[in-house]
Amino acid sequence: MQANKIRCVLRGFPMMTNKKIAVVLYRYPLSISTMIIAAIALLSQHNKVDVFLDDKQRLTFKCDPWLQALIVPGTKNPFAIFLRKATNKLRILFFSAFGRFYSFSWESINFDLVRFSKALRGQFSKNQYDIVIAIEAKGLIAVDRAEVFKGDLIYFDMELLDWSPKHWAHMDKVELKKRQFAALQKVNHVMITSPKRAEIFAQMNKFNPERISVLPVVPLKRKVLQRSRYFRDKFKIPEHQVIVLYAGNFSAWAQCLEIIESMDNWPKEAVLVMHTGYGKQVKNLDYFKAMEKKASGRQVYFSLEPMLYQDITEAMTSADIGLAFYENLDANFYEICFSSNKMAEYLASGLSVITSPFEGLKEFVEGHGIGRSVDCADIGKAVQDIIQKERVYRENVKKCVEKFFIFEDYFSKAWLRYEKYAGLSQTSPH
């Protein structure tokens, strides 16, 4: 019996079986979230898993078929969906117009989250889940507001939320933080992406470190058998040109404009492909229009079609180098090693990487010889270096992935830690 248990752990399977588990996400992109998809894949092998998404995510972004089958369906009435969207837009316009003159409650501004939590309440009343996994702060707040839940609550903290008053992503950050902190008092266990982030999270939230597991953003073990021609065929890029890929959000914090500007110092044979999974809706963003303008006269190709997660590897293996840059705003960005979807997918696809020169990131990337960590202005020099030593870098990437970027190697340890401390009282000091 003990031998079987050990084998189960080494193979990366969860120790628990036959549990009913709910995974809750609110405005968080499940379809391209490496670690969350990997966790659901392993949990669903031995347990009944239901996935709850808000309407915007559920209706806009499609997941791989096996994952789509786990998503609990919401309303399919076209008129109800239209009416809800129209109501949301009117509310947003109203708060935008009058928010500077009047003080509105957090609940009235976050009306869609409140509605989502009510829907959860109905589902939780009908289905007694053994475990609920809440993803990110708003997912946790939605579960907390749903109230009728008696099992264990596990929180996946994907983006550190601190107490500072300003933040590019949250106009109501302080109020959001207060509600996250209150909801954490009911959490049995936290999964977070790195030891350093675990330390910061415990201090910031006065949370018991024993009830935190490290679960990095890395994919399930995969075999990269051969390089594809996906981007070469899509954009008719000749073989002699080196494809440098940026995949992710088109946002100021990702330094997309700075990346494009750096091309003036790139080797002539290098071209830039910029891919986002958010579809052609990004064309309406002012930031994307600025990117297009900056790209004029440079060899930049924009890829705007959403992909299923199962197709990401094929696309990425057609590139040569992956870019992962972040504005140095707070710990959520400078502690990005093992917390970056794009970096994990680049490496798992066999690509060398060029990243921001944050201390921990630089130490890992250059210490293992898998790429360079430089300022945006020096990307061209880094590209040239990787081109000249391509074979060495690719071999280093392969070794690094085998050692650090296989999700199964972390999953069992994280889950066993949860099981070890699951008996701790929810009211015990954090």
Predicted confidence band of residue 147 (pLDDT cuts 50, 70, 90): confident
Q: Which residues contact 13 (CB under 8 A, 6 or more apart)?
A: 42, 45, 46, 412
Listed residue (383, 339, 381, 333) closest to 359, CA to CA: 333
Give 20's DSSP letter.
Answer: E
Rounded Cα distance between 207 and 186, Å, is: 11
* pLDDT digits 0-9 by tens, 338-378: 889 999 999 999 999 999 999 999 999 999 999 999 999 99
pLDDT of residue 254: 94
Query: What integer pLDDT is reported at residue 5 of this predicted model?
Result: 35
pLDDT at 99: 52
Given the structure tokens 């248990």, which residue do they identify?
Answer: 5
In this model, does residue 163 exceed pLDDT 50?
A: yes
pLDDT score recorded for residue 162: 86
Say whether pLDDT at 150 is over 90: no
Please give the pLDDT value at position 90. Answer: 63
Residue 9: per-residue pLDDT = 40
- For the ranges 70-84, 165-179, 226-240, 382-396, the lowest mean pLDDT is seen at 70-84
* pLDDT mean over 3-11: 38
Does residue 74 carry a pLDDT above 70?
no
pLDDT of 116 > 70? The answer is yes
Summary mean pLDDT of the chain: 86
**pTM of the full predicted structure?**
0.87
